Structure 1
Amino acid sequence: MQALWQLVGAFADLVFGPRTVVCGICLEEVKSICGVAGCGHQFCNSCLGQHISTRIQSKRVPIRCPEHECATLIDGRECRKLLQSSGASANLLEELLQLEIEASIPEEQRIYCPNPRCALLLVRDDQGTAARQNVRSRCPACQQLMCASCRAAWHTGLTCEEFRRRPSPEERAFLALVHSSRWKACPKCKRVIQRSAGCNHMTCKCGTHFCYRCGAAYPVISGYPQPACKCGLYNHSPLDTSPDDTEARQLQLPEALEAPHMVGLAAIRVPHDQQRDRGAEVEGPEHGHHPHHPRYRTALCRYYSNGFCRYGTTCNFAHGVDQLRARHQWRM
């Protein structure tokens, strides 16, 4: 089909002279074009080759036409011809072949070696293996023992369901980090989200809107998410004084992994020399009480108002209305 498009284009050039066509990706007028068989959308060789390379690198096979809302598949032979004409590496062509083989195998028959250094693709011959428990198998490449039923490493003395409920060492370490850092989980897809700054309104990649403080989902009314809790848009303090029970319940954190409560910013000790450099108050018998600037804490900190101030207690601005001071009080 690709050769037919090239033949039609060559005949048109002989009859009507050289012509230019607008590429559907870069929108440039080009003379050398490439049409996708089945839909007829035309692109320049460079753009279509880059599209195929990007899809292979992101492991998104089969490859579709890059035209918006077009579901036409590009044949594997056409993909290889375009890659070869654009000077693609042999590794990229080999990866395309592997992805095509993988896509041709039904998902329920695919087994990947649980060894992260191997990850070899295997095909499960027995169609009834998934219904049985504890079917022992071995990877032919790295000799890793695995369970063909649950596609995990071999679990001696445990059923597939018991092993599935038991967190791995990596999962335990990650859950401990989530608990100690007070990250929150999406109430729908359970994806862990870290907020670096800003308000409590979070939008997950799955499209769910929720409150970062309590984890309550925001219902979408007339196309707009509406708060379903009383936490407010901004916190009164940069850090919570205790972990949220909702977070631990959503992540199913084991009791043995519960970390000590984090300390608020007000309890963090800062050396006196750093406090003087940042302009904070230094109270003590050897330093007395010295404001660094005549306008010290006469205005609210905009970073704190947005949810978090990295300077903490050493900030020159007021963290709350109760810390505001009159300007004339510090005139020099």
Structure 2
Amino acid sequence: MQLTGKERPTNNMTLTFVDALIFIQRKVGYRGPFLMQQSSVKVAYKLAKTAMASQATKFAEKVLEQCAICLEYKSKGSMFSHNNRSHKYCYSCMNKHVESKLLQGQLPECPHKSCKFKLEIESCKKFLNKRLHDIMSSRIKEASIPPTERVYCPFPKCSFLMSKTDLQNAASTSSHETWKRKCSKCRGRFCMNCKVPWHDKTKCSDYIKNFANQFVNEVELKSLAARNRWRQCIKCMQMIELAAGCHHISCRCGYEFCYRCGGAWINKTATCSCPLWDLGYILYAE
């Protein structure tokens, strides 16, 4: 095979291959013909394709694009975009956006106001650290289980998420251990009915009677919550503290409500007339 560059081939693949070889010719400064055996064409094409990809990468690094959040110009190689190529954001802003949503118990979407594109963990790998990557993996798993099916390990150092369906399949055949389950992660045994560590040789009804002090602790907890202005989710009963941000709360169970009065949010709209912001909960950049 001889490459002279005198005639243009008609086949698209061959045309691409020839253009790549001509490009290499110019780079190395060699103007003579390239001779090769027919059997070497595939190898040459692969080398040319690699050279083209390398040049495309270098070109992308030089091209600057504007982030729609911080409005700064960054190299194309450090910008994120999905199917809608007009929505472009730098990795730094995307990292902050995803972290904010994950810590609110939500799966992050495209930052664009009217875009509902769900971000995928694979596409976020380039700008997420290991901690956020693990949190996002947990949120994806959490979202795959309906709120009414979610069961969390009662051991404080674990809190692993499981589904009632999976736990039903692992139910004990013994009559006095009907509610006994084992955490898939820490292997700790717990009562799925009472949602506490397993109370061996004690029925659920007896456990509640014998350990009435837990209700005293609940009163103390609610008193503490009132002093610290915590809010309890009426759906999953978890206590929530607002550290910073607006009054719109999205609980990990999926319920949305107003932190100020407890009123529900329906379809991303408040059912109360409380202000969305409180100056005491706004963080200012130094």
* Interval of TM-score (by shorter of Structure 1 and Structure 2): 0.3 to 0.5
TM-score with structure 2 length normalisation? 0.46
User: TM-score, normalized by length of structure 1?
Assistant: 0.40
Return the structure number with greater helix share: 2
